[in-house]
Amino acid sequence: MSQAAEGADAHEALVGEFGTHVGRAMGWPPMAGRAAGLLMLSEKPMTLAELQDALDASKGSVSEMTRLLVTNGTVERYKEAGQRHFVYRWRDDAWVGCLQHIVASTAQLRELAERAQVRGARMTAVQQCRLSEMQEYYRFMTSHLESLLSQYTAGRASRGKQP
């Protein structure tokens, strides 16, 4: 088997594994994991039509999955100069974007927990305890995730990569 054929097989296998493992770990549909793998391994931006073809998926499905990836901070959507179609590419700082999304989502849940605890002030002791645990958990998670983000971006900067 030629080196190019082996590379293509490895590419296909990785895209499939991303669909299974990244999709599951992130709570995404397998198609989003496959789209993430495809874009991560692509050396050039891809149009929606190219993604559709490569993933053998409908326009609606690919559109929804790319929107999910953009929202989760790993992919960016833009128009190249002089072109009329949007393209998608894996962000150079995709893991920073992913962690920023997780921090923001966790902070929103912490805020919900804080509001819930105030609103639940007259609830039963069991309910108040559960609301308090929720608030404590999301305070803990937000604090530690923010610290991880700072550490990770500092590490990237020290390796000469832009945050």
pLDDT at 18: 86
pLDDT at 70: 97
pLDDT at 161: 73
pLDDT at 19: 84
Interstrand relation of 75-79 and 46-47 (parallel, antiparallel or unpaired): unpaired
Residue ranges of the chain with pLDDT lower than 70?
1, 4-5, 7, 162-163
pLDDT at 10: 85
pLDDT at 1: 63
Q: What global pTM score does this model have?
A: 0.85
pLDDT at 162: 61
Say how far apart CA 39 and CA 61 lie, in whole Å. 15
From residue 42, how far is each of 12, 37, 38, 47, 128 by CA, in Å?
A: 12, 8, 6, 12, 50
